[in-house]
């Protein structure tokens, strides 16, 4: 029976190539889009699940407020790890990682340094914690000794080629010699450690904050014993503050108690987050890598579901509309003895055939566009053709799609009454108009919703790119790792300033775009108690910092080379002044210190107030910032005058190669670095555009097919109207108006939903746009325009047909 159904289905589809193409292509586009999104979502959800005992591994977080500044930290204090492992029986193992950023590394006899972009100190228990084996070396001892390190396979090949790396020595930052004690596989791409290529022994790090419970610089992981409950562990974890931190703090604030600390408006709450949740559920300060967003996963999940539903709705619409042609076939088959179940099986077989042909076409489309999708999404996902589970899910999903898409048309057409359809009674109502109209409304409501979302995302990105940030980011070249020039760094800066296209330059490790960050607790002179503490960013810069980045001094003055006393001078931003509770004019001359608990504290004098500028994401409010003079050889920010930028870069590189031969010339432009901060939003916007276009394409395919069948169904009506004197324009209007009404209803439904959803998305930004009325009007106009263009061809074609031929069709 099934073989017979399959033959009949194939013949039926071959007879109607237009109908078959619309259904097959629409379903294929929907399946391909959903498949690509599903691969992306699977990759996001699989982060860090490959590690042994991943379900028992958790990171310790800290939520702290002190000195008026609240922070959500992914790092905790130095003694936290061994304290938890020693004093809490629920903890089986603890390990720490300290991210160090980039380093210049070379073999001792190599002429040129190589930059490793992500390096870290790690405890010797790091490999045991995550169940990592080494290709070379012993994971139990690899990081136990000072000045030892483990390289990833790629890093080892970069530095040693085909030579054995184990036992070799490397020079780090032209200063420290380390011995390679292990080589490991590259970290998986779907891991928070994916960027790290060098792990150095924590034993070799002489931390000046050792034992300091108030300093948070270590990413700390714990592994719970199998029988322990992480939920039950939260209460004991909170006891850390009273048991350890307060006694440590009493050395600086004699007599302080936990109650006094809390009564002052301060807090320090510890919590845990599962290892596998970090990538999608954590956006804290000092994350090990750029994390994803569960919100984006939800959004993309909805889009994938929308695409499949849109394609299914197309199938239902076209099948029920096409039932006009199949009515007599059903009537004859029922007259000849076919029962309802046989007819349902026949129509479901046709639906299944179309679905599986669409699946094959979807796989071809997916393979063709996968490189583009990976580029847009920033992924390296691949279609897992060799995974049986993938095929099982794909075939089962396609079968469900066939059932979902074909069930309504199958039951609808199998209910035709033979006597009525063979007599032609009620043929104008065969198409199931009300349900079909509802499905059209649903399709266009989704499409308009996605158009609104896309416009708002891009409007917010445009706002970010054009907002006055309070500093100049355009035409600012940043040369990284200038410490490679050794004691010639200042000479490098001075020679760069001699170039004609260079307006100014400044040495600092701290820049408004992503770079080093360091916070300190300050106290006003005469107020060295914890209730008067002021927590703010503490940057060290040179004399030219403000002028190079065009920071505005609203009160007081900038640093002056002619004033020796400026070595103890400090600049504050407006947010810092607000935390101090005074006016900008009143803060000038105030003396503050960050020497906690010191009997001989060094005080800095406030000489100026800088207008607030954005040195954090626009998702966050501008925090308090203190800037003082200090030597830094991390980066040189160079303000160019424009013109021949490539020529200026070449000139700077030539000076670098002369002063620091054998050192890599690493540079970037500040505006590009700023834009990279919002890479996730840009990618989301690009994905929105792609899948909004796909959703509109699918909706238009359905609308085009419905318009064709509507014109065919009303052939006699059109002929009569033309005989009675109706113009082509009037007939076109009549045929198009019914569809435009449906689109209008879809617009009324989708615009409020789009406005609400995008306002919720914008709540994540402290600095954001308002959803403008023109966004809603534009989305509505595009929907109307696209629908007119879609149906007008069929409407005009029917309107200009000869009425003689139209009337002969009946």
3-state secondary structure of 569: strand
CA geometry: angle 626, 629, 632, nearest 5 deg:
105
Render pLDDT for 769-792 as a digit per residue (tens, 0 to 9): 888 888 899 988 988 888 888 777
Instruction: Check whether 808 has a pLDDT greater than 90.
Output: no
Residue corresponding to tokens 């160079």? 638
Which of 228, 191, 220, 51 has the alpha carbon at shortest distance from 128?
51
Percent of the chain past pLDDT 90, that is, above it, reads 35
CB burial class (10 A; 0-12, 13-18, 19+) of residue 562?
exposed
Q: What is the rounded radius of gyration, in angstroms, for the C-alpha atoms of the chain?
A: 34
Most confident of 268-282, 374-388, 756-770: 268-282
- Rounded-to-integer distance, Cα 638 and Cα 499, Å: 11
| Highest-confidence segment of 219-223, 482-486, 800-804 | 219-223
- Of residues 85 and 23, the one with the higher pLDDT is 85
Name the residue with higher pLDDT: 727 or 27: 27
Considering the entire predicted model, what is its pTM?
A: 0.83
How far apart CA 349 and CA 2 sit, in angstroms, is: 8
Start-to-end CA distance of the chain, whole Å, equals 36
Burial per residue of 611-623, b for 16 or more beta-carbon CB atoms within 10 angstroms, e otherwise: ebbbbbebbeebb
Give pLDDT, residue 149: 96
pLDDT per residue as tens digits for the range 322-333: 655 655 566 666
Give the model's confidence band at 496: pLDDT under 50 very low, under 70 low, under 90 confident, else very high: very high
- Give the pLDDT of residue 431: 46
β-strands 476-480, 553-556: how paired?
Answer: unpaired
Give 171's strand partners: 106, 177
Orientation angle between helical segments 728-762 and 715-723, nearest 10 degrees: 130
* pLDDT value for 610: 95
Q: What is the pLDDT of residues 685-730, one digit of tens each?
A: 888 888 888 888 887 777 776 776 666 666 677 677 766 667 767 7
Q: What is residue 327's predicted lDDT score, i.e. its pLDDT?
A: 59
Q: Residue 524 is encoded by which pair of tokens?
A: 């006003």
pLDDT at 88: 92
pLDDT of residue 154: 95
**Quick one: what percent of the chain has pLDDT higher than 70?**
85
As a whole number, the mean pLDDT across the chain is 84
Inter-residue contact 660 to 486 (CB < 8 Å): yes
Average the pLDDT over 594-612 and give the result.
Answer: 80
Identify the residue with better confidence: 88 or 14.
88
Of the listed ranges 371-380, 471-480, 524-533, the least confidently predicted one is: 524-533
Helix/strand/coil (H/E/C) assignment for every residue in 679-735: HHHHHHHHHHHHHHHHHHHHHHHHHHHHHHHHHHHCHHHHHHHHHCCCCHHHHHHHH
Answer yes or no: is pLDDT of 159 > 60.
yes
Predicted local confidence at residue 233, as pLDDT: 93
Give the total residue count for the chain. 810
Q: Residue 430's pLDDT is what? A: 46
Question: Span 576-591, mean pLDDT?
Answer: 88
Q: Which contiguous run of DSSP H or E holds residue 452?
A: helix 433-466
Model pLDDT, residue 803: 64
Q: What is the C-alpha to C-alpha distance for residues 76 and 30, in angstroms, rounded to an integer?
A: 46
What does the pLDDT read at residue 357?
87
Query: Does 434 or 512 have the greater pLDDT score?
Result: 512
- Is residue 152 within 8 A of residue 118, CB to CB? The reply is no
Confidence of residue 485 (pLDDT cuts 50, 70, 90): confident
**What tens digit of pLDDT does each residue of 409-455 get?**
666 655 656 655 555 554 444 445 677 677 778 888 888 888 898 88
What would the mean pLDDT of 253-268 be, rounded to a whole number? 83
Tens of pLDDT, residue by residue over 607-636, are 999 999 998 888 888 889 999 998 877 899
Give me 412's structure tokens: 């609808």
What is the phi-psi region of residue 255: left when phi exceeds 0, alpha when psi lies from -120 to 50, beta otherwise?
left
The confidence score (pLDDT) of residue 122 equals 96
Stretch 6-18: mean pLDDT, rounded?
62
């Amino acid at each position: 029976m099934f073989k017979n159904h399959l033959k009949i289905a194939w013949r039926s589809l071959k007879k109607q190539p237009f109908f078959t193409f619309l259904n097959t292509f629409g379903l294929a586009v929907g399946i391909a889009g959903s498949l690509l999104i599903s691969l992306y979502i699977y990759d996001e959800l699989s982060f860090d699940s490959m590690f042994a005992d991943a379900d028992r591994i958790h990171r310790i977080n800290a939520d702290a407020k002190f000195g008026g500044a609240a922070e959500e930290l992914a790092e905790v204090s130095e003694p936290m790890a061994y304290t938890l492992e020693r004093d809490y029986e629920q903890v089986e193992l603890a390990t720490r990682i300290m991210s160090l950023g980039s380093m210049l590394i070379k073999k001792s006899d190599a002429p040129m340094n190589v930059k490793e972009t992500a390096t870290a100190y790690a405890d010797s228990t790091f490999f045991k914690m995550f169940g990592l084996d080494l290709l070379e070396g012993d994971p139990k001892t690899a990081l136990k000794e000072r000045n030892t390190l483990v390289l990833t396979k790629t890093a080892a090949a970069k530095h040693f080629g085909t030579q054995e790396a184990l036992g070799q020595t490397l020079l780090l930052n032209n200063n420290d010699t380390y011995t390679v004690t292990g080589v490991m596989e590259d970290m998986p791409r779907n891991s928070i450690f994916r960027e790290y290529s060098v792990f150095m022994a924590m034993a070799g790090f002489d931390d000046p904050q050792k034992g300091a419970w108030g300093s948070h610089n270590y990413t700390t992981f714990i592994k719970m014993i199998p029988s322990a409950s992480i939920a039950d562990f939260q209460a004991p974890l909170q006891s850390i503050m009273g048991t350890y931190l307060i006694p440590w703090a009493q050395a600086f604030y004699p007599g302080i108690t936990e109650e006094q600390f809390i009564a002052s408006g301060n807090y320090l709450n510890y919590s845990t987050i599962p290892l596998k949740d970090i990538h999608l559920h954590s956006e804290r300060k000092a994350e090990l890598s750029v994390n994803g967003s569960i919100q984006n996963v939800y959004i993309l999940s909805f889009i994938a579901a929308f695409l499949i539903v849109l394609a299914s709705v197309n199938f239902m619409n076209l099948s029920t509309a096409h039932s006009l042609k199949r009515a007599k076939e059903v009537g004859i088959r029922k007259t000849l003895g076919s029962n309802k179940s046989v007819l349902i099986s026949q129509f479901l077989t046709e639906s299944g055939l179309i679905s599986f042909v669409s699946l094959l076409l979807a796989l071809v489309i997916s393979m063709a566009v996968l490189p583009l999708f990976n580029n847009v999404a920033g992924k390296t996902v691949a279609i897992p053709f060799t995974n049986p589970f993938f095929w099982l899910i794909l075939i089962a999903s396609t079968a469900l799609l066939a059932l979902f898409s074909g069930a309504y048309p199958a039951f609808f057409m199998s209910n035709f009454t033979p006597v009525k359809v063979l007599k032609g009674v009620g043929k104008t109502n065969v198409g199931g108009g009300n349900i079909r109209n509802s499905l059209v409304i649903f399709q266009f409501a989704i499409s308009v919703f996605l158009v609104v979302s896309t416009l708002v995302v891009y409007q917010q990105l445009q706002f970010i790119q054009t907002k006055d940030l309070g500093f100049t980011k355009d035409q600012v070249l940043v040369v990284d790792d200038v410490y490679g020039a050794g004691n010639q760094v200042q000479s490098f800066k001075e020679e760069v300033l001699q170039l004609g296209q260079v307006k100014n330059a400044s040495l600092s490790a701290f820049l408004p775009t992503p770079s080093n960050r360091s916070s300190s607790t300050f106290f006003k002179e005469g107020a060295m108690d914890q209730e008067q503490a002021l927590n703010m960013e503490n940057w060290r810069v040179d004399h030219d910092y403000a002028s190079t980045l065009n920071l505005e001094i609203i009160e007081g003055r900038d640093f002056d080379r002619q004033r020796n006393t400026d070595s103890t001078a400090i600049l504050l931003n407006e947010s810092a002044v607000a935390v101090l509770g005074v006016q900008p004019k009143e803060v000038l001359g105030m003396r503050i210190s960050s020497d906690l608990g010191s009997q001989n504290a060094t005080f800095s004098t406030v000489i100026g107030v800088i207008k607030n500028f954005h040195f954090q994401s626009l998702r966050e409010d501008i925090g308090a910032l203190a800037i003082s003079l200090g030597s830094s050889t991390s980066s040189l920010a160079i303000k160019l005058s424009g013109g021949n930028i490539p020529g200026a870069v070449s000139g700077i590189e030539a000076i670098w190669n002369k002063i620091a031969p054998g050192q890599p010339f690493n540079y970037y432009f500040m505006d590009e670095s700023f834009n990279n901060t919002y890479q996730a939003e840009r990618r989301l916007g690009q994905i929105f555009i792609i899948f909004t276009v796909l959703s509109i394409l699918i909706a238009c395919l359905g609308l085009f097919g419905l318009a064709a069948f509507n014109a065919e169904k009303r052939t006699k009506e059109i002929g009569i109207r033309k005989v009675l004197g109706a113009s082509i324009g009037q007939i076109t209007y009549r045929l198009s108006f019914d569809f435009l009404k449906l689109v209008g209803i879809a617009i009324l439904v989708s615009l409020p939903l789009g406005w609400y959803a995008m306002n919720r998305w914008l709540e994540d930004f402290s600095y954001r746009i308002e959803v403008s009325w023109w966004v809603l009007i534009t989305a509505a106009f595009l929907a109307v325009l696209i629908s007119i263009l879609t149906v007008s061809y069929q409407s005009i074609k029917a309107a200009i047909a000869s009425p003689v031929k139209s009337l002969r069709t009946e």
